[in-house]
Chains A and B, each alone.
Chain A
Amino acid sequence: MSMTPFRVPVVPTLKKETFMSLYRKGTRLDERDLFTPRKVEIETGVIDKAEGSALVKLGNTKVLAGVKIEVGTPFRDTPNQGVLTVHAEFVPLASPVFEPGPPDENAIELARVVDRSLREVGVVDLESLVIREGEKVWIVWVDLYVIDHDGNLFDASMLAAMAALKTARLPDYEEYETGEIEVLRDKSQGPLKLNHTVVTVTTAKVGEYIIVDPTLDEETISDSRMVVAVDEQGRIVGLQKVGEAGYTREEVEKVLNISLGAAKVYFKSLEEALARKG
């Protein structure tokens, strides 16, 4: 059952007037303008044992993504496709408001929004992941580990998932006469085949203002948020309204325009990080 959040921090609410007066001047507490994301740092290959990994810092928010690739059986209705699964954990060390336990509705929503943004446009080429049609396929697990929460977990998680997938390598395998398959993790068949690149842009609505990449304080004082997933061709490949308020039609249009613009900043950060990696 979903419940109105009842443990809302009080301090940011008191800061709301300060935030609003800055927005009126077109600036923010950290001196950004309304439409620029925080500084993005992406480090890939941070976990040797994972087939792909990335640590993304978006301001003070940190998300670690790990890609593990295992052999499994395909879904009955897609015998000629591998499987992609996204999970998110809000680990308790990341924030005083995260509690140990199974993923709550926020973690589930985050994982499902990232999953759909990757899936709907076909980021991972699932057809290249078949070992024996209808029997054995590669299962790609993307695990998102939120380790420091300072707002906008969606964009940080999407960047981490994308960077980890882009640097992931498909393990080699050996097939025995019995039909069994052994994964040879120290050998690789090459990079995981991807067809597209996707980023999400989260904006928060605070009164009449729309701001890109809210910090945790800004999220707390915001009325609502919108997460827009954009691919490298500028198409919208997913969208989710998150939060307790509504949007006018005009605000929706404004959000789409702002998001398509801000997506370019994230694409550039991704590109630079991956180019550095060589």
Chain B
Amino acid sequence: MARKDGVTLFREDGTRLDGRRPDEMRPIRMEVGVLENADGSAMVEFGRTKVLAAVYGPREPVQKYIAIPDKAVLRVRYHMAPFSTSERKSPAPSRREVELSKVIREALEPVVLTDQFPRTAIDVFIEVLQADGGTRTTGLTAASLALADAGIPMRALVGGVAVGKIQDKLVLDIDEFEDNYAEADMPVGAAPDIGLVTLFQINGVMTREEVMKGLDMALEAINKIVEMEKEVLKSKYVKAEV
């Protein structure tokens, strides 16, 4: 099962190098209310990928001219810590981070009820603490939790996961090593409760059939991710009552 360059991404029994089945996600950990100052916060881990998100607002925007008369302005920053990668990443925002901030904001816009807070800003800050693949989808999941934790009204929760195509097979939740050798990487974000795909990208080569099959794999996984989000949010309040 080796590739032309000798790299093998599957073991003899069809499982992946870390022992996962093709449709298995890495172990997921979620926690909300992890920061004191923020109005809402969350830490989400997919395997070795660790992402922290914080929400401030609705609050008066610092630059008044950005205020929108009939809704809140949503501001999102996706940023990677300098120590999150193998080689130090410069803390200055890269072109990739600029693009991903936009893609994540556009994945949150359909669910945040911004029209309830005219002329305000809702700020979402996402810090990737350790990057091992799937940071944008983990960041989106953390942002969804942090928004809910801040009490921001939302139509639905969102979650995200990436599907990869490696050695012609579709696999769920690819990690960095798999991504380095992948033919395609397809990050998906969705709000299952309202049936919408809100983040969708493909980097690589796929047929139409593979795209739809991969999308279904991702949507099934996102259902589970969002159910986990709900449990984590609920358990915070169960604990608070004691």
Binding site for B on A (CB under 8 A): 1-4, 6, 105-106, 108-109, 111-112, 116, 120-121, 224, 226, 231, 235-249, 252-253, 256-257, 260
Inter-subunit contact A245/B102 (CB<8 Å): no
The residues in B between 84 and 136 inclusive whose CB is less than 8 angstroms from any CB of A are: 95-96, 98-99, 101-106, 109-110, 114
Chain B residues within 8 Å of A231, by CB: 205
In angstroms, Cα B65 to Cα A231, docked, is 43
The CA-CA distance from A185 to B73 in the complex, in Å, is: 50
Interface of B is mostly: mixed
Number of A-B contacts (CB under 8 A): 122
Q: Are A108 and B98 in contact (CB under 8 A)?
A: yes
Q: Count how many chain B residues have C-beta atoms less than 8 Å from C-beta atoms of the other chain.
A: 48
Q: Which of B114, B191, B195 has the most chain A CB atoms inside 10 A of its CB? A: B195
Interface with A: B10-18, B35-43, B206-214, B224-232, which one? B206-214
What is the bound-complex CA distance between A253 and B212, given in angstroms?
7
* CB contact between B114 and one of A2, A4, A239, A245 (< 8 Å): that residue: A4
B66–A3 touching, CB < 8 Å: yes
Does B202 sit at the interface, judged by CB under 8 A? yes
Docked pose: A140 CA to B115 CA in angstroms: 46
Question: Do residues A112 and B96 form an inter-chain contact, with CB atoms below 8 A?
Answer: yes
* Nearest 9 interchain pairs by C-beta: A246-B196, A239-B202, A2-B101, A246-B198, A241-B200, A244-B109, A2-B102, A246-B110, A2-B105
- From B68, B77, B219, give the contact of A1 (CB < 8 A): B77
Contact A249-B101, Cβ < 8 Å, known A120-B184, A242-B106: no
- Closest A residue to B76 by CB, please name it: A2
User: A4-B114, A105-B98 given as contacts; is B200 within 8 A of A249 (CB)?
Assistant: no
